Amino acid sequence: MARAVMAPLAPGYRMSRRAPGGASMRRYAATFIKPNDRLTSFERLEIYNRQYWFRVLTGISDDFPGLRAVLGEKRFDRLSEAYLAECPSKSYTMRNLGSRLPAWVEKNPRFVRPHARAALDMALLEWAQVVAYDGPQETPLQPQDLAEGFDPGMKLRIQPYIGLLALRYPVDDLLLEVNKETEDGEAASNAVAGGHKRASLRRFRSLKPQPIYLAVHRHDDSVYFRRLEPEAYGLLAALRGGKSIGAAVTDAFRKSAMPAADRVQTVRDWFELWAALGWFCRPLSASRAALRESGGA
């Protein structure tokens, strides 16, 4: 039944006449669903097949409004149907439905040409937004914890809900505009909403490449995008990769044009801000690290 319910719909959003494997769907449905005095086995199964697809298509649309706005409704619908056919839901929660979309978009650029890279950046940002909203949080280190126990050889961990993104296009500004238009347009007419979508599409197509670095995080139950200097991004990425504070700082400034005299205060300011935002959590103990590497709970 699951295979039939999750099978892609036919044109017109009807259930396919062919079951998984190519047999007749009517005969397939009759093997495990009884008809009643109003509906055949096929018609009863079709209700669930359509409900499943309407639900997951709505879920993808809700989680990726920026990608929908920049592609347009028809292209986004084609992309969503192809993605969900290849990457069906494998989770008990709708939250994880789009987890594989950025990687899928990168492997299937034909659905987003001629703006494949900008569309990929938008998908990466929107999935990071989902993770930042409800991803797990560990007990944060307080600023005084860092001040009292600071050691260049110390290893810090970045909160797991924080997304660190190196993007080629400034899609963060565009996504903020799309979100605002969506909120403003909830009570607006279809004509007004349609105008907003066309404006978003025009802005997207006129985007010029501009490398940006972002931290996507939450604070007081709201999600924020914070642009980072390239060195700050490199430092955080190195910490997330398991490097010590000293090694991460060295890597971050290896090719930097920032004057050496400014670096100490700059790094101090960054750490004070990030600690105040709760971005750091304690390093794993040796026993916990070994357990995690071995796949333990």
Asked if the 137-170+207-297 domain carries CATH number 3.90.930, the reply is yes
Q: Is it the case that residue 294 has pLDDT exceeding 60?
A: no
Residue 176, both tokens: 């903020």
Write down the domain spans for the chain: 137-170+207-297
pLDDT mean over 117-138: 95
178 or 247, which is more confident: 247
Residue 56, both tokens: 């997951």
Which of the residue ranges 10-24, 47-61, 88-102, 271-285 would you say has the lowest mean pLDDT?
A: 271-285
Q: Is it the case that residue 125 has pLDDT exceeding 90?
A: yes
pLDDT mean over 9-15: 91
pLDDT mean over 79-107: 94
Mean per-residue pLDDT over the chain, rounded: 87
Q: Is it the case that residue 232 has pLDDT exceeding 90?
A: yes
pLDDT at 153: 84
**Locate tokens 């009863």: which residue?**
44
HEC letters along 184-216: HHCCCCHHHHHHHHHHHHHHHHCCCCCCEEEEE
Please name which of 63, 176, 93 lies closest in space to residue 83, comparing C-alpha atoms. Answer: 63
Predicted confidence band of residue 297 (pLDDT cuts 50, 70, 90): very low
In single-letter form, the type of residue at position 58 comes to T
Q: Is it the case that residue 157 has pLDDT exceeding 90?
A: yes
pLDDT at 191: 42
Q: Is it the case that residue 296 has pLDDT exceeding 60?
A: no
Q: How far is it, in rounded angstroms, from Cα 34 to Cα 212?
A: 57
Contacts for 46-51: CB closer than 8 Å, 24+ residues apart: 46/14, 46/15, 48/1, 48/5, 49/4, 49/5, 49/7, 49/9, 49/15, 50/9, 50/13, 50/14, 50/15
Please name which of 142, 121, 125 lies closest in space to residue 133, comparing C-alpha atoms. Answer: 125
Predicted confidence band of residue 204 (pLDDT cuts 50, 70, 90): low
pTM for this predicted structure: 0.84
**Locate tokens 């600023």: which residue?**
143
Per the DSSP assignment, residues forming a β-bridge with 222 are 219
251-273 per-position pLDDT tens digit: 999 989 999 999 999 999 999 99
Structure letter (DSSP) for residue 12: T
Predicted confidence band of residue 190 (pLDDT cuts 50, 70, 90): very low
